[in-house]
Structure 1
């Protein structure tokens, strides 16, 4: 299994209390998509943690409520420090620093997230206390 590593990290300053968090910038959305990338969940026979997208399916509007749920197995606990969120582009964009303050052992809950219109493929990697890895990728379709 080949892993793609990001070469871009953007660190945002403090936001006003009523401002939406920018998850993906228009400049990042303009980057070309990776060739052959397909949204998928890599479960196989592993007992690694599961990542579920709780955000409403279908076409979304920005700003939106972005939620993911982490589900560990076999009594293991999710390691919040292991969570990685990658915007699959060429080159990939590491979104981890933008979601870090919203990560909990149960998932990610961002009440107001800004995304440009279009389709955005995102990969989330998480590890549990037993060292097992769970990965899922999904597409967020944002209406203009």
Structure 2
């Protein structure tokens, strides 16, 4: 197990160690092509709160506070187990388990997320209790 992954797992368990969500090797991989998955029904809304969508225009400085809110629709609910987060690189990296307890039915809240320099297209997928899915990609760029 790499040291970066271990740090991420320790941080997800509630330790005060700053998590490294993505290893330098994973960050260096080429970006994957856009994911064409779409649902006929809109599913729950996914709102990027921190950094804001406007912040994504320029490179960010690590660590980053990652905060995403989920908004169910049509009286549906969202379970933490119905949320998936992938780093869209070739090959892609499932970050869901690394985020651990940062994922809740209300969203994702990781106050201190360390990332190496690079470009990070994050695919967030949420399925509600009606079976409706929403998939959104936010790309974070971390300055060198």
SS of corresponding position for 1:100: helix
Q: Find the counterpart in structure 2 of residue 64 from structure 1.
A: 64
Structure 2: unaligned runs, 5 residues or longer: none
| Counterpart check, 1:55 vs 2:50 | yes
**2-structure distance, mates of 1:42, 1:60:** 29
Check whether the contact 1:41–1:137 (CA below 8 A) recurs between aligned residues.
no
Q: Find the counterpart in structure 2 of residue 26 from structure 1.
A: 24
Q: Specify which of 7, 10, 14 is matched with residue 14 of structure 1.
A: 10
> Where is the strand percentage greater, Structure 1 or Structure 2?
1
Deviation track 1:89-140 (CA, whole Å, cap 9, x = no partner) reads: 1100000111121111110000100111121101011111111111101100
> How large is the Cα RMSD of the aligned pairs?
2.2
Query: Across the two proteins, how many residue pairs are aligned to each other?
Result: 132
**2-structure distance, mates of 1:117, 1:137:** 19
Aligned-residue offset at 1:32: 1.6
Q: Find the counterpart in structure 1 of residue 125 from structure 2.
A: 125
Aligned-residue offset at 1:18: 2.7
Aligned ranges for residues 1-144 of structure 1 at < 5 Å?
13-15=9-11, 17-34=15-32, 36-37=33-34, 46-56=41-51, 57-58=55-56, 59-144=59-144
TM normalised by structure 1 equals 0.81
TM normalised by structure 2 equals 0.81
Ranges of 4+ aligned residues in structure 1 off by more than 6 Å = none
SS of corresponding position for 1:22: coil
**2-structure distance, mates of 1:137, 1:127:** 15
